[in-house]
RNA sequence: GGGUGCUUAGCUCAGCUGGGAGAGCAUCGCCCUUACAAGGCGAAUGUCGGGGGUUCGAGUCCCUCAGCACCCACCA
């Protein structure tokens, strides 16, 4: 093995090998095991892997590899999403670059073009997932627009329509005037923005219908919509205006007469207490209009210009140009009373960022309430569990107030709605035109035209857990893997995706789509900022794996910005944050970092120092393995327990390993990847490397050690390493495989050559025995060595310098232990000699460490200065005294002694005794040294 | 306006059903000891956001205040 761990040389090789050998395809469950399935949240075909994906996919892969090793029939379903609007926008941008556009290309050719683009670059993300080590079953990869999934989409649409749960209706919807499509409520992001409140005068109409000198003042944030006003509303109880209800006002600029109505939607406290009502361009006004049977006038074209319903002067003007013109005209006529600053919530499209318009159009909707009820019940019953559990509240909150879902989109890329129209405009729904015709009893002569709209992308995503398994066919995979085990996803798509999967899953399979929903947090940058291209703070996971030099990173971050003027500050920040660029950390280090940061679903700040730390951990494992191989490869490990003798150190490390195994299982069952990573890190570094490997040297370097002991040690080194590799494999697949290939043959029965760690058994609780006795023995040994190290460290004695050691007040047990563990003490403590001080003998001036009753003394002559030792003792005693006082106070409290459990009280008493004793010993020692000085 | 979460060592965060405040990184010493300097050994570090309550006992439970973050919502 090379001296230094180099991730690059091993990762790509192993992934290719695993995939070629088909390790990721589900295998029959081992006896006693079950099945396990995760559906990958399908990434957009437009996408490339970002930190959120890398985080999420690491967690999923960890679960998947863990279950695969435990022998479950395991499927991690691969696939991607057609991402209608996002993908269409990408290809349209491409066309624009060629001086072309989708309209002149035509629908059919445009869609061909999207497919072509999908084929070329749509696989970028799957390549990146491979780099991440994600053990997806690529042989079953699906796409939301492939044949099978399209069939499932049509099936669901038709069935919901037949059941009256999908309908077509004319409604006010959120309209994106750039894309010229409707979008769902969820795709609207409301942003607080600074704007104005315009106070407009609407003259009251006289008996002749002409304007009078009196007027009502309405306050509005959108003066341009006044062209579509059909009423002015006041609160019915408002003393100021009550008497005007039923009268009419002259709508300026149009000359139309509109009524004054009373409606308690109006808040008399806000603005002027008079509200202009524009049912065609405001959701609230629409509702008011319905209540009062007001006409609805649409004054906008689909791209938000003024249409022909408005006075000629404004026609064709963009909505914002129209605003200026209208305000100007009103001012000129003396009808603008005031303009005040006002912050308001502006609805923008999540894709285009454009201000949306409420717009009256024909759309398709899903009637969601009947679907939501069982979906709520499933979570209430516990058939589905959110982890962490508090997300269930968010889910309930939304599901209980859910509105119908607008599923039609006026774009081209997506599942075309399976509905056809005859020349009279009658609707025929079917799985195909032929079926629609048959079901409608239409003769062939009648021409039918399919609906031009496509479905919301989330409609097909909602079917993902069962459509990918072959539904509506009752396939073997569906039987075996549905309901799936767990969904791993971010909180941001609970409404978009999670809730809808639950609704559709229950409706069409009668079962929940998954049992657990693990919600993870957002990956932020080291300052806690959201990562985004426009902020220029994104990290590409691949750059963390392979490394990237500063110049390339700067180029990458500043290229193709929406706001090119940001480039300079982004460059500056990047140079400050990464003066050396980013070193190559390797996939395993990155994965381990994600796991270690994944605590209880809260957002994580991604810090390069953390990755570096875990890269070092990889190196640690690598070097530990080198040590083990050096000492065991080709050596005699003993063929059976007869041929091996296990010392206390061996028993100890195996006992500690068994605790670690338990902890790992417990943590992964609770989705505490951070604790899992932490438990393994601690065992490997602190116990296996820092203690056991060092302890093993005592045996292996001892020329007098028995062959059986040496075999026991060698065997244990390899055996524990093997377990460590298996335990870590789900988190760090590459380095564990690489090392395991070398380590495993040493343990294998001759003739049986294991192929891959991916399919090895995961260490299970109960495989090893807890050995309390060995743990106690080694605690004593470590205490001894730590005492010496502390003296050495605090006295600045070089680690290599052998120390003469005197032991005072050693009881029989301690004498036996010194004898039994002498080799460990000599090797790890760098002990030159040990001598027991006899009773009555007065010890020389020495630095002291306390081990129970026994005092470990290092004579100071020539080594230590007295002053420093006195200070050292004082420090220790101060600590003990504080502890002692607290304990005394506690025990002096009668209520405590009476009311606290006896166990707790006893513990405090025991503590008091040992504290007193230690303090006495140290005090005596201090006096001795002080006296000798 | 409604809801959720957060506040613990210089930084990033653990701390489960209430019983002696922890980790990593950073810092400071001593060491290139034959697995590893991407390392070893040792050290220092906290009115657990403020206040109140329950309790023998509160970082942990309850109330309250403050600050921060996020989600939802139709005040023109």
Count other Cβ atoms within 10 Å, centred on residue A532: 11
Let me know: does A913 contact A867? Beta carbons within 8 Å: no
Which bases in strand B are touched by protein, i.e. have an atom under 7 Å from a CB? 3-6, 12-15, 19-20, 23-26, 29-31, 33, 35-36, 38-44, 55-57, 69-76
- Residues pairing with A387 in the sheet: A518
Give the residue with minimal CA–C1' separation from B72: A398
The structure tokens 């969601």 sit at A368
User: Count H helices, E strands: chain A?
Assistant: 32, 28
In eight-state DSSP terms, residue A367 is -
User: Nearest residue to B24, CA vs C1'?
Assistant: A610
**How long is the CA A385 to C1' B59 vector, in angstroms?**
28
CA closest to B3 C1', residue: A394
Q: How far is the CA of A800 from the C1' of B33 (A)?
A: 6
CB atoms within 10 A of CB A243: 10
Burial A829-850 (b: 16+ CB within 10 A, else e): bbbeebeebeeeeebebbbbbb
Predicted confidence at residue A14, as pLDDT, reads: 95
Nearest residue to nucleotide B25 when comparing alpha carbons to its C1'? A609
| Cis peptide bond prior to A579, omega within 30° of 0 | no
Residue among A360, A332, A361 at smallest CA distance from A252: A332
Q: Is A29 exposed, middle or buried (0-12, 13-18, 19+ CB in 10 A)?
A: middle
Instruction: Please name the helix (run of DSSP H) or strand (run of DSSP E) that holds residue A931, with its range, or none.
Output: helix A902-932
Residue A390 CA distance to nucleotide B63 C1' (Å): 22
Whole-angstrom distance, CA of residue A883 vs CA of residue A916: 10
Q: Which residue is nearest to nucleotide B43 (CA to C1')?
A: A794
CA angle A19/A21/A24 to nearest 5° reads 55
Q: Are A185 and A358 in contact (CB under 8 A)?
A: no
What's the angle, vertex CA A738, arms to CA A733 and CA A740, rounded to 5? Answer: 90
ipTM of the complex as predicted: 0.94
Q: Please name the nucleotide lying closest to A692, CA to C1'.
A: B35
> Closest nt to A225 (CA→C1')?
B76
What's the Å distance between residue A690 CA and nucleotide B58 C1'?
Answer: 37
Å separating the CA of residue A783 from the C1' of nucleotide B16? 29
What nucleotide is nearest A600 when CA is compared to C1'?
B14
Structure tokens at A750: 């001759």
Q: Which residues pair with A361 in a beta bridge?
A: A171
Nearest nucleotide (C1') to alpha carbon of A269: B75
CA-to-C1' span, A882 to B21 (A): 15
CA of A613 to C1' of B13 (A): 15
For nucleotide B57, give the residue with the nearest CA to its C1'.
A896
SS (H, E, C) A94-146: HHHHCCCCHHHHCHHHHHHHHHHHHHHHCCHHHHHHHHCCCCCEEEEEEECCC
Find the DSSP H helices in A415-540: 433-440, 457-461, 464-467, 476-481, 499-509
Please, are residues A125 and A80 in contact by the beta-carbon 8 Å criterion? Answer: yes
| Rounded CA–C1' distance between A679 and B53, in angstroms | 38
Distance A741 CA to B17 C1' (A): 43
Q: In whole angstroms, what is the distance from residue A478 CA to residue A414 CA?
A: 25
Q: Which nucleotide is closest, CA of A606 to its C1'?
A: B12
- Spatial contact of A42 and A76, defined as CB atoms under 8 Å apart: no
Please report, rounded to whole angstroms, the spatial distance between the CA atom of protein residue A201 and the C1' atom of nucleotide B14.
62
Distance A561 CA to B58 C1' (A): 52
Give the nucleotide with minimal C1' distance to the Cα of A628. B35
Distance A882 CA to B57 C1' (A): 18
Token code pair at residue A456: 């919301």
Q: Give the residue ranges of chain A where pLDDT is below 70.
A: 750-752, 862-864, 932-933
Which of A282, A86, A301, A303 shows the shortest CA–CA distance to A180? Answer: A303
Torsion of CA A753, A758, A761, A764, to 10 degrees: 140
> Token pair for residue A309?
């319903």
Q: How far is the CA of A501 from the C1' of B5 (A)?
A: 25
Nucleotide with the nearest C1' to A620 CA: B36
User: Residue A408 in contact with residue A364, Cβ under 8 Å?
Assistant: yes
Give helix A812-820 / helix A822-829 axis angle, nearest 10°.
Answer: 70
Alpha-carbon span A548 to A408, nearest angstrom: 43
Tokens of A85: 């609007």
Nucleotide nearest to A910 (CA to C1'): B20
CA of A374 to C1' of B23 (A): 44
pLDDT attached to residue A603:
87
Buried b (16+ CB within 10 A) or exposed e, A619-643: bbbbbbbbbbbebbeebebbeeeee
pLDDT the model gives residue A72: 96
Nucleotide closest to A283 measured between CA and C1': B74
Cα–Cα distance between A671 and A493 in angstroms, integer? 19
Nucleotide nearest to A5 (CA to C1'): B38
Residue nearest to nucleotide B6 (CA to C1'): A602
Give the DSSP H/E element, type plus range, for residue A194. Answer: strand A188-205
Residue A331 CA distance to nucleotide B15 C1' (Å) = 65
Q: Which residues contact A120 (CB under 8 A, 6 or more apart)?
A: none
What is the enclosing helix (H) or strand (E) of A737? helix A733-747
Tell me the C-alpha to C-alpha distance, in Å, between residue A899 and each of A32, A97, A548, A896, A902. 48, 80, 63, 5, 8
Q: Are residues A128 and A448 in contact, defined by beta-carbon separation less than 8 angstroms?
A: no
First-last CA distance in chain A: 55
**Beta bridge mates, A258:** A249
CA distance A165 to A122: 34
Q: What span, in angstroms and rounded, lies between the C-alpha atoms of A288 and A233?
A: 9
Q: Could you tell me where the beta strands, DSSP code E, fall in A787-928?
A: 803-808, 831-836, 846-851, 854-859
Q: State which residue has its Cα closest to the C1' atom of B74.
A: A284
Which DSSP helix (H) or strand (E) runs through A557?
helix A550-558
Kindly state the tokens that stand for A62: 């960890």
Nucleotide nearest to A265 (CA to C1'): B75
A278 closest-nt by C1' vs CA: B76
Q: Note if the pTM is more than 0.95.
A: no
DSSP, residue by residue, A22-75? TTTS--PPPTT--EEEEE--PPBTT----HHHHHHHHHHHHHHHHHHHTT-EEE
Task: Record the tokens describing residue A263, joined without a space.
Answer: 């409606």
Q: B58 C1' – A900 CA distance, angstroms?
A: 15
Tell me whether strands A231-234 and A256-262 are parallel, antiparallel or unpaired.
parallel
A39 CA, B4 C1': separation in Å? 27
What are the Cα distances from residue A852, in Å, to A301, A813, A857, A913, A922?
88, 11, 14, 12, 12
Beta bridge partners of A365: A167, A406
Which helix (DSSP H) or strand (DSSP E) does residue A17 occupy?
Answer: helix A7-20
Q: Give the nucleotide with minimal C1' distance to the Cα of A627.
A: B35
Nearest protein residue to nucleotide B26, judged by CA and C1' positions: A609
With CA of A701 and C1' of each nucleotide, the nearest comes out as B34
Name the closest residue (CA) to the C1' of nucleotide B12. A605
Dihedral sign for Cα atoms in the order A118, A120, A126, A132: negative
Q: Find the Å distance, CA of residue A882 to C1' of nucleotide B52.
A: 28
Q: How far is Cα of residue A416 from the mean position of the Cα atoms in its chain?
A: 33
> What is the Cα–Cα distance from A346 to A192, expressed in whole angstroms?
6
Rounded distance between C-alpha atoms, residue A85 and residue A186, angstroms: 14
d(CA A502, CA A485): 13
Q: How far is CA A337 from CA A217, A271, A327, A518, in A?
A: 8, 12, 11, 55
Q: Which residue is nearest to nucleotide B35 (CA to C1')?
A: A627
Q: Is A770 helix (H, G, I), strand (E, B) or coil?
A: coil
């Amino acid at each position: 093995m090379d001296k230094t761990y180099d991730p690059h040389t091993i990762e790509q090789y192993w992934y290719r090998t695993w995939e070629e050998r088909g390790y990721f395809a589900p295998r029959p469950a081992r006896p006693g095991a079950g099945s396990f399935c995760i559906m990958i949240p399908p990434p957009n075909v437009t996408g490339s892997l970002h930190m959120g994906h890398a985080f999420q996919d690491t967690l999923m892969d960890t679960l998947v590899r863990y279950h695969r090793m435990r022998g479950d029939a395991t499927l991690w379903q691969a696939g991607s999403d057609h991402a209608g609007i996002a993908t269409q926008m990408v290809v349209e941008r491409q066309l624009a670059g060629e001086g072309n556009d989708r309209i002149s290309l035509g629908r059919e050719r445009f869609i061909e073009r999207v497919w072509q683009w999908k084929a070329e670059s749509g696989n970028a993300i799957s390549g990146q997932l491979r780099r991440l080590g994600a053990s997806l079953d690529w042989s079953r990869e699906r796409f939301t627009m492939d044949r099978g999934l399209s069939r499932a989409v049509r099936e669901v649409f038709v069935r919901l329509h037949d059941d009256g749960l999908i309908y077509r209706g004319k409604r006010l919807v959120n309209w994106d005037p750039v894309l010229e499509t409707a979008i769902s409520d969820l795709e609207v992001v409301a942003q607080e923005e600074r704007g104005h409140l315009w106070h407009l005068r609407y003259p009251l109409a006289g008996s002749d219908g002409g304007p009078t000198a009196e007027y009502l003042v309405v306050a509005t944030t959108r003066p341009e919509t006044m062209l579509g006003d059909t009423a002015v509303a006041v609160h019915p109880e408002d003393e100021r205006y009550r008497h005007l209800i039923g009268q009419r006002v002259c709508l300026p600029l149009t000359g139309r007469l509109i009524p004054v109505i009373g409606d308690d939607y109006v808040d008399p406290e806000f603005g002027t207490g008079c509200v202009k009502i524009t049912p065609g361009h405001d959701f609230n006004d629409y509702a008011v209009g319905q209540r009062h049977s007001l006409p609805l006038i649409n004054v906008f074209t689909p791209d938000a210009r003024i249409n022909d319903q408005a006075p000629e002067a404004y026609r064709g003007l963009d909505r914002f140009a129209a605003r200026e013109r209208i305000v100007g005209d009103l001012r000129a006529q003396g009808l603008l009373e005031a303009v005040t600053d006002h912050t308001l919530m502006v609805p923008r499209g999540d894709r285009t960022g454009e201000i949306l318009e409420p717009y009256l159009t024909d759309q398709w909707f899903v009637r969601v309430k009947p679907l939501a009820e069982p979906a709520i019940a499933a979570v209430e019953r516990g058939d589905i569990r959110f982890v962490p559990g508090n997300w269930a509240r968010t889910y309930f909150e939304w599901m209980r107030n859910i509105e119908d879902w607008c599923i039609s989109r006026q774009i081209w890329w997506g599942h075309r709605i399976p509905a056809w129209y005859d020349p009279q405009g009658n609707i025929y729904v079917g799985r195909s035109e032929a079926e629609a015709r048959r079901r409608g009893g239409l003769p062939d002569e009648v021409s039918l035209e399919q609906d031009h709209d496509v479905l919301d992308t989330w409609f097909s995503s909602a079917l993902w857990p069962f459509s990918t398994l072959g539904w509506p066919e009752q396939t073997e995979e569906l039987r075996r893997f549905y309901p799936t085990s767990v969904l791993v996803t971010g909180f941001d798509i609970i409404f978009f995706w999670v809730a809808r999967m639950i609704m559709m899953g229950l409706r069409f399979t009668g079962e929940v789509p998954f049992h657990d929903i693990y919600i993870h947090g957002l990956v932020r940058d080291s300052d806690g900022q959201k990562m985004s291209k426009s902020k220029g703070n994104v990290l590409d996971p691949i750059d963390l794996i392979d490394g990237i030099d500063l110049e390339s990173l700067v180029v990458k971050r500043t290229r193709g910005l929406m706001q090119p003027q940001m480039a300079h500050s982004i460059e500056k920040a990047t140079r400050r944050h990464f003066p050396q660029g980013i070193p190559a950390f390797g996939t395993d280090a990155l994965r381990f970092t994600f796991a270690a940061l994944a605590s209880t679903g809260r957002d994580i700040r991604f810090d390069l120092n953390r990755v570096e730390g875990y890269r070092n951990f990889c190196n640690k494992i690598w070097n530990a393995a080198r040590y083990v191989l050096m000492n065991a490869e080709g050596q005699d490990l003993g063929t059976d327990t007869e041929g091996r003798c296990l010392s206390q150190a061996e028993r100890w490390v195996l006992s500690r390993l068994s605790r670690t195994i338990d902890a790992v299982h417990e943590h992964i069952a609770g989705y505490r990847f951070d604790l899992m990573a932490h438990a393994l890190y601690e065992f490997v570094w602190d116990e296996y490397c820092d203690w056991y490997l060092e302890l093993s040297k005592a045996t292996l370097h001892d020329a007098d050690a028995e062959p059986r002991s040496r075999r026991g040690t060698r065997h244990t080194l390899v055996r524990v390493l093997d377990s460590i590799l298996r335990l870590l494999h789900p988190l760090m697949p590459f380095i564990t495989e690489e090392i395991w290939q070398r380590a495993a043959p040493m343990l294998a029965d001759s003739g049986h050559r294991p192929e891959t760690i991916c399919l090895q058994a995961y260490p299970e609780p109960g495989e090893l025995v807890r050995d309390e006795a060995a743990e106690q023995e080694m605690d004593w040994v470590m205490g001894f060595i730590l005492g010496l190290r502390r003296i050495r460290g605090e006295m600045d004695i070089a680690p290599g310098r052998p120390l003469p050691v005197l032991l005072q007040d050693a009881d029989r047990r301690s004498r036996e232990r010194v004898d039994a563990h002498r080799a460990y003490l000599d090797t790890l403590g760098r002990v030159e000699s040990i001598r027991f001080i006899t009773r009555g003998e007065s010890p020389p001036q020495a630095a002291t460490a306390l081990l129970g009753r026994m005092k470990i003394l290092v004579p100071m002559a020539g080594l230590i200065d007295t002053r420093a030792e006195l200070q050292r003792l004082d420090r220790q005693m101060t600590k003990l005294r504080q502890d002692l006082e607290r304990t005394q106070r506690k025990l002096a409290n009668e209520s405590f002694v009476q009311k606290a459990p006896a166990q707790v009280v006893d513990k405090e008493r025991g503590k008091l005794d040992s504290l007193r004793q230690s303090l006495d010993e140290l005090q005596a020692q201090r006096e001795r040294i002080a006296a000798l000085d």
